[in-house]
Amino acid sequence: MAFGKKPSQSEIDGVQYRRVPTWCIALAEMQAGAAMAFYSLVGLMSYVANEGYGIALAVAGVILTGTRWFDGIIDPFLAIWIDKLNTRFGKLRILMLLGLTIRSIAVLLLFVWFSGKTQSIALFIILYMVNIVGNSIYDIAGNMLPAVMTNDPRQRPTVQVWATIYNYAFPMVLSMLSVMVILPMFGNQYTKEMLSLTCVIYVIVAWVMTLIACIGLTPVDKPENFMGISAGEEDNVTLKDMAKFLTDNRPFQLYVTAAVADKLASQVNSQAIVSTMLFGILIGNIQFGTMLSMLSMLPSIGFAILGARYCGKHGSKESIVTWTRVCLVIGIINIVFCSLIDMHSISTNIGLTACFFLLLLAMNASKMCVTTSNGSMRADIVDYELDRSGKYMPGIVTATYNFIDQLISSLGATIATVAVGFVGYVNTVPQPTDPATPGIKAMALALYFGMPIVGWICTLIAMRFYKLSKAELVQVQKRIAEKKEQILAAQAK
């Protein structure tokens, strides 16, 4: 397919599916890498609040939770506007550039221009809320990609493969840059100067990735790819549609239960204060521990391809169940292993180093497969809702998910900050040079490995009642195709 031409068609299971070249997917999903650059900055927000604005750690946790609720509240209104937005240039590229501009200005103000110059809690909150507005616009547009790029059940997991690779690779590279290069420049202390330099680098990376993504989106970011199958009503999306979707769409309810449980766990163990406790305090060498963790992700990224192939062959539901069970077993083994050893020895004993590395590798690999299936499942729900209601509203689906996600996963920062308060960090933050204690070890393992285990258990329970199997989704696509043909025939008359 030449650049800018319409996506090709392929027939599988008696359905004509829309496909795009792999290079388009690879470029378009670079928006995920840009999003993860800002996600990494959010992980440092507790530090910038404490170091740059003099806000106590526990108070910072409450602020970050409350502002994420604000994120959830504005998402429905943004989604309605997004689903109604139609221009001859499409919508995704416009929305991504708008969101990126807003969030870039906000984080630069937070990390660079005002950090260390004021003790104003109000200013910190206002700037963080501006960042959230930009974040919501960008993320809603980015999360619409799997549904818009293709509806081919065998290609759709490929979209998520690239998103998964970027979701893991970019935070890994940026974290290594931050911990291995920038942090030592400032005496292994999270100072306001260290945080400012980190922010500038992350913002530059985000802009480069987004501009590349816009190139990949060109063939599909067109008005005809955002049409519904209810003639004359495709733009008539309201808050009532969102409420009806949330209350009536049972597969979505089960999906969001599973996904949000995992997201909450991820929010907790991705906090910088948690990784500092595990790698810096318990292992005793934050550079070594972080490098070990990051290196374990490199080969595990390849498992995203395995997960996509499994998902394409067996469907999203079966794939999520299979790999979640693997995650659960490996997570338990990780806790047992770390509980039985002196974790300081990991950095000096080659045998323990190898065991810890392999356990991290196994957990990351299985998580990759779950993440790949998760993205495909949300796109499946967009199609199911199109078949059910006749309205194509990927923005509403994404925003409804985000609304619930923000309300629940926003507790991640609070859980982490309150939890570490029980081991002595109330007005200060964990630093890599702090001494290890049994309480710190127990808390670090509970937050880093225990929280994901709880999320995986919730996923397995929810998936027992989820009905959108691979066979059912084939029927969904057939019904959509038939309805579109009826509308075109009626318009032709």
Higher pLDDT, 240 or 93: 93
**Residue 15: helix, strand or coil by DSSP?**
strand
Residue 265: count of CB within 10 angstroms of its CB: 25
pLDDT band at 338 (very low <50, low <70, confident <90, very high): very high
Residues 446, 13: Cα–Cα separation, whole Å: 46
Compute the C-alpha angle 232/235/238, nearest 5°: 120
**How large is the average pLDDT for residues 74-96?**
79
pLDDT band at 465 (very low <50, low <70, confident <90, very high): very high
Tens digit of pLDDT for each residue in 118-150? 778 888 888 988 998 998 889 888 888 877 787
pLDDT of residue 11: 54
Is the pLDDT at 255 greater than 80? The verdict is yes
Q: What is the largest CA-CA distance in the chain?
A: 79
**How large is the average pLDDT for residues 82-92?**
76
**Residue 436: helix, strand or coil by DSSP?**
coil
pLDDT of residue 210: 94
Residues 342, 65: Cα–Cα separation, whole Å: 34
Residues 347, 473: Cα–Cα separation, whole Å: 49
Compute the C-alpha angle 36/382/409, nearest 5°: 40
**How large is the average pLDDT for residues 454-471?**
91
Task: Identify the bridge partners of residue 314 per DSSP, sorted by sequence position.
Answer: none
Tens digit of pLDDT for each residue in 374-399? 777 888 888 888 888 777 777 778 77
Is the pLDDT at 232 greater than 70? The verdict is no
Single-letter amino acid code for the residue at 417: T
Q: How far is CA 68 from CA 61, 256, 275, 413, in A?
A: 11, 17, 22, 10
Best-predicted range by mean pLDDT among 11-25, 293-307, 359-373? 359-373
CB 380, CB 480: distance < 8 Å: no
Single-letter amino acid code for the residue at 256: V
CB 127, CB 109: distance < 8 Å: yes
Weakest mean pLDDT among 102-111, 263-272, 453-462: 263-272
**How large is the average pLDDT for residues 291-303?**
74
pLDDT band at 12 (very low <50, low <70, confident <90, very high): low
Q: Over the Cα atoms of the chain, what is R_g?
A: 22
CB 225, CB 151: distance < 8 Å: no
Weakest mean pLDDT among 79-83, 118-122, 210-214, 343-347: 79-83
pLDDT band at 13 (very low <50, low <70, confident <90, very high): low
* Structural tokens at position 63: 């602020």
pLDDT of residue 236: 59
Burial bucket for residue 117 (CB in 10 Å: 0-12, 13-18, 19+): exposed
CB 396, CB 80: distance < 8 Å: yes
**How large is the average pLDDT for residues 425-439?**
82
Higher pLDDT, 445 or 233: 445
Is the pLDDT at 229 greater than 60? The verdict is no
pLDDT band at 203 (very low <50, low <70, confident <90, very high): very high
Weakest mean pLDDT among 305-314, 439-448, 471-480, 481-490: 481-490
Best-predicted range by mean pLDDT among 21-35, 202-216, 425-439? 202-216
**Residue 460: helix, strand or coil by DSSP?**
helix
**Residue 165: helix, strand or coil by DSSP?**
helix
pLDDT band at 10 (very low <50, low <70, confident <90, very high): low
If you write DSSP's letter for every residue of 50-84 in order, what string do you get? HHHH---HHHHHHHHHHHHHHHHHHHHHHHHHHHH
Residues 96, 31: Cα–Cα separation, whole Å: 8
- Residue 7 DSSP one-character state: P
Residues 396, 380: Cα–Cα separation, whole Å: 14
Instruction: State the first-to-last Cα distance of the chain, in angstroms, to the nearest integer.
Output: 32
pLDDT of residue 172: 75
pLDDT of residue 178: 83
Residues 466, 471: Cα–Cα separation, whole Å: 13
* Structural tokens at position 457: 């258990």
Is the pLDDT at 1 greater than 60? The verdict is no
The answer to whether the Cα torsion of 158, 261, 82, 479 is positive or negative is positive
Is the pLDDT at 17 greater than 80? The verdict is no
Residues 493, 486: Cα–Cα separation, whole Å: 11
The pTM of the full predicted model, rounded to 2 decimals, is 0.70
pLDDT of residue 429: 75
Weakest mean pLDDT among 139-143, 355-359, 487-491: 487-491
**How large is the average pLDDT for residues 406-417?**
77
The mean predicted confidence, pLDDT, of the chain is: 82
Single-letter amino acid code for the residue at 271: Q
Residues 87, 81: Cα–Cα separation, whole Å: 13
**How large is the average pLDDT for residues 319-331?**
92
Say how many residues make up the chain: 493
Is the pLDDT at 361 greater than 90? The verdict is no
**How large is the average pLDDT for residues 202-226?**
87
Tens digit of pLDDT for each residue in 156-190? 778 877 887 787 778 778 877 887 888 888 888 88
Single-letter amino acid code for the residue at 420: V
